[in-house]
Amino acid sequence: VSRKENIFSGYNKSLDLGGLTAVIWTDFIQTVIMVISAFILMIIIGGMQQIRNLFPYAVAHTTLHNTTECGVPNQN
């Protein structure tokens, strides 16, 4: 193993660990913020029962709004 390979392999390992640590902390902080925000909004609305009363049919729909096909040439 040459000296150049040792330098770069050591650098990559430390860079990977630092990057992974940053991603883990960022994900953790974002999760905490989203959960706390969801509870705050639920309290503002009036609790879980009020959410069920206000939005009984809040279901995601699967209607496609754009019916054009990408990559299909015009007829003319």
Reduced 3-state DSSP string for the chain: CCHHHHHHHHHHHHHHHHHHHHHHHHHHHHHHHHHHHHHHHHHHHCCHHHHHHHCCCCCCCCCCCCCCCCCCCCCC
Tens of pLDDT along 17-53?
777 888 999 999 999 999 999 999 999 988 888 888 8
Q: What is the Cα–Cα distance from 49 to 59, expressed in whole angstroms?
A: 17
pTM of model > 0.75: no
Q: What is the pLDDT of residue 16?
A: 67
Tens of pLDDT along 4-21?
666 656 556 666 677 788
Q: What is the pLDDT of residue 56?
A: 75
Give me the residue spans of the domains in the chain: 3-54
Q: What is the Cα–Cα distance from 46 to 1, expressed in whole angstroms?
A: 66
Q: What is the pLDDT of residue 30?
A: 98
Q: What is the pLDDT of residue 26?
A: 96
